[in-house]
Copies of this chain bind each other. A is one copy, B any other.
Amino acid sequence: MKIGFIGLGIMGTPMALHLVNAGHQLLVNTLGPLPDSIVASTALACANAAEVTRGADVVFIMVPDTPDVEAVLFGDMGVASGLQAGAGERRKIVVDMSSISPIATKTFAQRINALGADYLDAPVSGGEVGARAASLTIMCGGSEAAFETVRPLLEKMGQNITLVGGNGDGQTTKVANQIIVALTIAAVAEALLFASKAGADPAKVRQALMGGFASSRILEVHGERMIKRTFAPGFRIRLHQKDLNLALQGARELGVALPQTANAAQLMQACAANGMADLDHSALLRALELMAAHELA
């Protein structure tokens, strides 16, 4: 099976290399020059996404945002051009691993299906560390047949791989994940800051709450980050802002109100306004600290 990979950034490069290292022939394309690690591999550079698509059975996409995916798919010499040129061959599968709008994804999938190919949305969580360690969580939407065909490839890049439902449901799950993570960070930040201002030791409070009903991965990992003030990313506030924007924009289009998500997005905005957009998202605490003129002690 020939594999295409479009988008060789911080996430895409290690993901593509896992496929190369598993012995697959890769056709690749990215904006700008190829990373050295890709040049040094067996991957073959293509001039554009159409050329990748013509030569590949499965085409992975890993780019920043909804308009980027749209450009890769339907722009000049994009994936759609390659599908049209390659009509009549084995049915191809387009796998978008970017984190983008669930609503746009449904439209993209329909347009790709209309060109005789399958579509799978398969966004990931786990960040750069997870991409390098091949330990990404991958949330998929699409047909079971396409999912089963692609699954062995996904297993080279991640560990916790689920088919949630039809097209768009993978992206929806990713948005749900980012809502919960942001709001749980805010929960832990407000609780620990309150405790600190009330004179308690936040490290002891965190310890007392672990194992109880307030326990979460976020209390464990980000609670510790807040107490030790290790705000080097990790997952940048800038990126979480993008994801919460997907949630709020989607909510507006769908007709759902997300008051806590909206407020958490504003707290991240306050961080960004104070020059902290490239800190880890646990630094949301800093927005509360600025408001209280008090730091977690």
Contact = CB atoms under 8 A, between A and B. Distances in A.
A47 interface: no
A58 interface: no
A209 B192 contact: no
Interface string A124-135: 011000000000
Given A168-B198, A216-B218, A180 B175 contact: no
Interface string A85-125: 00000000000000000110000000000000000000001
B257 A264 contact: no
Contact of A213 (B169, B181, B200, B213): B181
Given A181-B213, A184-B184, A216-B216, 18 more contacts: A103-B198, A125-B212, A125-B213, A126-B213, A165-B201, A169-B198, A172-B194, A172-B195, A175-B194, A177-B213, A180-B191, A180-B209, A183-B191, A184-B214, A190-B258, A194-B251, A259-B288, A260-B260
5 contacts: A103-B198, A165-B199, A165-B200, A173-B208, A180-B187
